[in-house]
Amino acid sequence: MCTSAEYSTIQTGILHRGYNTLLSYEELANAIEDAWDEAGLHEHSVTESINPATLERTFRAEIFPDHGEPLTEHNVPPWVELSFVWGPEHQHASTNNTPSSLELLWSYTITLASHDKRSDSELLKTFMTIVNQTIRKLFQQMPDQDMLAIEIRRGYRSGESRDVQHLVIYASGGSDIGESFVAATPDLIQRIIREEMLVVANLLRALAESFSPGSVGGYRTVDSA
């Protein structure tokens, strides 16, 4: 899906050869961090690891909107975890400019108060309505039905008690950006990532308004926070 917004090129220096773009791990990680800043989101934590045995690099970030401190189960806003694994096949694709599947994994977490008495079906319906309305507003079309897999869990105060401490909605999905390895223009990866982060930012705001109003102080942008 593409928006009508104009996108800037990656500022980290994409290697450009002829009409082809060579994507590297560092360029992708930097593009992601630039995109969440531009979308008005705040990173909560970022972890990157390297597995020498498999030559894999893992990027994982917990991304929050602006929020008050400290965060507890009573005021935590909806947030999303983003992750991807960069393996030898991606390095080969980057070096040789050949197609390779590379999936960005998104996992949304929404914590609800224990006194929320909505049934699972009501929560699912509310969540999907928000997703559909957000995507339709951004792209003037309905999202794919399998865009996100949703699960609802209940946390109890003790193993023996049936007294619910909190409810959590988990929603997960993925975006394959493998086409970036054979991009025709050097700004394609930035456009893709900014579009993804635009969806994330708008979804988090809409989910907070419905599920946890008051949990976030105005959703100020990074510049004004």
Distance CA 69, CA 23 (A): 37
Which residue in 137, 141, 134 sits closest to 205, CA to CA?
A: 134
For residue range 149-200, list pLDDT tens digits in order: 999 988 776 666 677 777 889 999 998 888 777 765 657 778 889 999 999 9
pLDDT attached to residue 89: 92
Decide: 139 and 87 in contact? Cβ < 8 Å: no
| Percent of the chain at pLDDT exceeding 70 | 79
pLDDT attached to residue 215: 61
> For residue 211, what are the CA distances in angstroms to 76, 80, 118?
11, 15, 11
Give start and end residues of each alpha helix (H) in the chain.
25-38, 88-96, 120-139, 188-211
Q: If you average pLDDT over residues 120-148, what whole number do you get?
A: 88
pLDDT attached to residue 82: 97
Distance CA 43, CA 80 (A): 10
pLDDT attached to residue 109: 94
Among all chains, which residue has been given the structure tokens 């980290």? 12
**Bigger pLDDT: 124 vs 163:** 124
pLDDT attached to residue 124: 93
pTM: 0.80
Q: What is the mean pLDDT of the chain?
A: 79
Cβ neighbours of residue 163 under 8 Å, at least 6 residues apart?
A: 114, 156, 157
DSSP per-residue codes, 170-210: EEEEEEE-GGGGG-SSTTHHHHHHHHHHHHHHHHHHHHHHH
Distance CA 15, CA 50 (A): 23
pLDDT attached to residue 123: 92
Instruction: Say if residue 144 is exposed, middle or buried (CB neighbours under 10 Å; 0-12, 13-18, 19+).
Output: exposed
- Quick count: other Cβ atoms within 10 Å of Cβ 145? 8
Decide: 165 and 73 in contact? Cβ < 8 Å: yes
Domain ranges of the chain: 16-211
> For residue 18, what are the CA distances in angstroms to 23, 38, 95, 183?
14, 29, 14, 11
